[in-house]
Structure 1
Amino acid sequence: MTKAGAYRLLRSGLVLIGLALFVAGCSAESEGPQIQRFEGQIMGTYYHVAVVGQRDEQALSELADQVHEVLADVDHKMSTWKPDSELSRFNRAPADQWFNVSQETYHVVAEAQRIADLTQGRYDVTVEPLVNLWGFGPDRHPDRVPSDTEIQQAFKKIGYTHLTLDPSGPMLRKEVSGLEVDLSSIAKGYGVDQVADWLESHGIHDYLVEVGGEIRASGERPGLSQGEGVIPWRIGIERPVSSSQSIQLVVPVSHYAVATSGDYRNYFEEDGVRYSHTIDPATGRPITHRLASVTVVTKSCMTADAWATALTVLGDQAGMALAEQENLSVYMIVKTDDGFKVEMSSAFKKQFSEALVAHQKAQP
């Protein structure tokens, strides 16, 4: 299981591969409060922050430094690249021993395990050996299809049911030797939430935060032209084609978090067969269904991040059924013989009814 390199966006430098979200209309300034922006690199990807205000250069620089510290703290706890990170030390620890972790790491792992339970293991943060085996992990090797024997050997080191949690520590424990946890399908979203919560706690309520394609927005921003006043933050959901970037649908996202997963840019081919970067923990092989892109909108970016990966693994039919069961706001783009079709959950249709009507009216 990977996510728009799901498991690889944080770790391989495949920055924004499969990205389906970008800020729509965020470049012009107007009189009065302005959109002020800063960016940086963390977790093997880029982040961008836009805040509304009139800060001088020094104040904006200090704000940028503080936001980077928030993200660096998440990275220090949950990185699998940094050998001294909390998660890396747990991954090196022997089996059948409790390992103390921070409340933050425990919180993220607990949410990952909750979604693993709901998906019956189709979302699994212990799937690293399979991701590596197919050449999409840090142990890069020439693209090739692994043997059945290699896949079965990797299965011995994975399984979310072999990872146990104890909130009293808080502590984690692995029950099989070689099991490792990789949070790159959920930690970016958690980092977005941490920045958003930090901004809120410091009196900043009009902002948009994006880390590696995962987004959370709040409040309003200045309009793009005189007389437009203030308007909600909006994002464009990208059409899933690898040759260009075009908008499929624009939706307002103030007070929400948005995450997207897709399989249309990160893959390899062998003997004319295309192998997706998204590995299904149930089979140990890349997904073969026709779901090209899935966008999830929730209050928590951490949760949206994980669900986008989970639904990508499940595919459009099983994924949409689970989205309806969990009342998730989900927008899917599915490949067909004639191009693409769109599928939306009931919650998404209700939440973005006005945007959908406007989109329909704008069609030729």
Structure 2
Amino acid sequence: MQKIISKRGLSLTFILVLVLSGCANNNNVEKYPFNFTGPTMGTSFTIKASQLPDSVKVNRLEKLIQKRLDEINQRMSTYISNSEVSFINSSRNAGATFISPELFKVLTQAEEISSLSDGAFDITVGPLVNLWGFGPDQMDNQAPTAEEIQQALRNVGYKNLFLHPRIKTLSKTLPDVAIDLSALAKGYAVDEVAKVLDGQGITDYMVEIGGELYLKGTNLQGENWRIAIEKPNAEKRELQMILAITDIAMATSGDYRNYFEKDGKRFSHTIDPKTGYPVTHKLASVTVLSDTSMKADAWATALMVLGPDQGYIIAEQQNLAVLFIVKTEQGFEERATPLFSEQTKLEQ
């Protein structure tokens, strides 16, 4: 049974991640023995560790993390012209292309979630995203024509990609099919940074990249990490919910900030890869908890496409821990799957 909590008059909600130290004194943030921040993958990262083994040096750890982030970006970025993904996208070769084991792993995860979500998750949707003005090109707040959408749809569809597990190759059935890993790469990078920390014997940490998270152990106060879900408010920042969680990954997707309006109609940045049009359902945002950030990242995108009804059904079928925030005439309501309630100690 789904849990429904009505939120009358709640402002449009898109989940953002804030990391709370567990104490009102913000100076505690500075006491983390490791607190590394910076830019990556077109966004930013924050990595905190509550304690470091004596053998771990901060400068060396920062270099290890930065090296790993750069490696992933070099493989999976569509903005780097000589990245592995850019090479695949520019190739018109219909035959099998050998790819790195790392990229093969990410593409395999993408294929799995695409299949389980009945195509709601699709890493080939990039041409449609760009067409609607939500890609790297500057937005002109102009809806494309039906003809333009149909033309773009010809090169969209995850089934136009074929992975060969035994020899680790990728084939494209259409030469112009392109891959965009923006809904997986950040989550994957989170997981990989967590492995770097694990390899150094660090047991209490938080890794965040562009809002995607992995949490392990305890915070500076020896408690579960406190993650705030923000109530979006154009005037001021307010908290809607605080989760005390650990040893888990978390990712969000929503429609609060990235949209445009034309002639009184609102166009979301979330594009349905089947229709080619922005979604029109009432789901405002979705938060997914999982064992890996990559999986949470991809499912958050898929469920945002599916919407509150079909998304909830699939989330229950796949035993996912998900919080849906849905627009209603009265305001907003939260719908949590049983596993989300269990893992966050929400009352049923």
TM over 0.5, shorter chain: yes
Q: Which runs of 5+ in 1 are unaligned?
A: 1-16, 224-229
- Matches of 2:308 and 2:233, distance apart in 1: 18
Contact 1:240 1:292 in 2 (8 A): no
The residue that corresponds to 1:63 in the other structure is: 61
Q: CA deviation at 1:152?
A: 0.4
Deviating 4+ runs (over 3 angstroms): 26-30, 240-244
The residue that corresponds to 2:9 in the other structure is: none
Contact 2:14 2:284 in 1 (8 A): no
- Matches of 2:189 and 2:167, distance apart in 1: 22
Letter in structure 1 aligned against 2:252: T
1:232 and 2:224 are equivalent in the alignment: yes
SS at match of 1:185: coil
The residue that corresponds to 2:49 in the other structure is: 51
1:24 corresponds to which of 20, 29, 37: 20
Contact 1:240 1:293 in 2 (8 A): no
The residue that corresponds to 1:347 in the other structure is: 339
TM-score, length of structure 1 as denominator length: 0.87
Contact 1:95 1:175 in 2 (8 A): no
- Matches of 1:206 and 1:55, distance apart in 2: 11
* CA pair 240-292 structure 1, distance change in 2 beyond 3 A: farther
SS at match of 1:61: helix
- Spell out, residue by residue over 1:116-173, the C-alpha distance to the aligned partner (whole angstroms, 9 max, x if none): 0011111100011100100011233412010000000001111101100012231111
Within a 5 Å distance, the mapping from 1:35-50 to structure 2 comes to 35-50=33-48
Within a 5 Å distance, the mapping from 1:183-194 to structure 2 comes to 183-194=181-192
The residue that corresponds to 2:281 in the other structure is: 289
- Spell out, residue by residue over 1:47-85, the C-alpha distance to the aligned partner (whole angstroms, 9 max, x if none): 0000122689x9222211211111111101100000110
Q: CA RMSD in A?
A: 2.1
* CA pair 35-295 structure 1, distance change in 2 beyond 3 A: farther
Within a 5 Å distance, the mapping from 1:75-86 to structure 2 comes to 75-86=73-84
TM-score, length of structure 2 as denominator length: 0.91
Letter in structure 1 aligned against 2:18: F
Within a 5 Å distance, the mapping from 1:88-99 to structure 2 comes to 88-99=86-97
Q: CA deviation at 1:253?
A: 2.3
Q: CA deviation at 1:46?
A: 0.2
* CA pair 34-130 structure 1, distance change in 2 beyond 3 A: closer
* CA pair 243-180 structure 1, distance change in 2 beyond 3 A: farther
The residue that corresponds to 1:137 in the other structure is: 135
SS at match of 2:57: helix
Within a 5 Å distance, the mapping from 1:1-364 to structure 2 comes to 19-25=15-21, 27-29=26-28, 34-53=32-51, 59-223=57-221, 230-353=222-345, 356=346
Contact 2:15 2:231 in 1 (8 A): no
* CA pair 162-242 structure 1, distance change in 2 beyond 3 A: farther
Contact 1:240 1:262 in 2 (8 A): no
- Spell out, residue by residue over 1:163-218, the C-alpha distance to the aligned partner (whole angstroms, 9 max, x if none): 00012231111101210000000110000000001110110111000000000010
Letter in structure 2 aligned against 1:79: S
Q: CA deviation at 1:35?
A: 4.5
- Matches of 2:303 and 2:233, distance apart in 1: 19
* CA pair 34-137 structure 1, distance change in 2 beyond 3 A: closer
Identity %: 42
Letter in structure 2 aligned against 1:318: Q
Q: CA deviation at 1:29?
A: 3.3
- Matches of 2:238 and 2:46, distance apart in 1: 20
Letter in structure 2 aligned against 1:178: D
- Matches of 1:281 and 1:244, distance apart in 2: 34
Of 304-313 and 160-169, more deviation after overlay is shown by 160-169
Q: Which runs of 5+ in 2 are unaligned?
A: 1-12
Aligned residues between the structures? 332
- Matches of 2:39 and 2:15, distance apart in 1: 16
- Structure with larger RCO (C-alpha < 8 A, sep 6+): 2
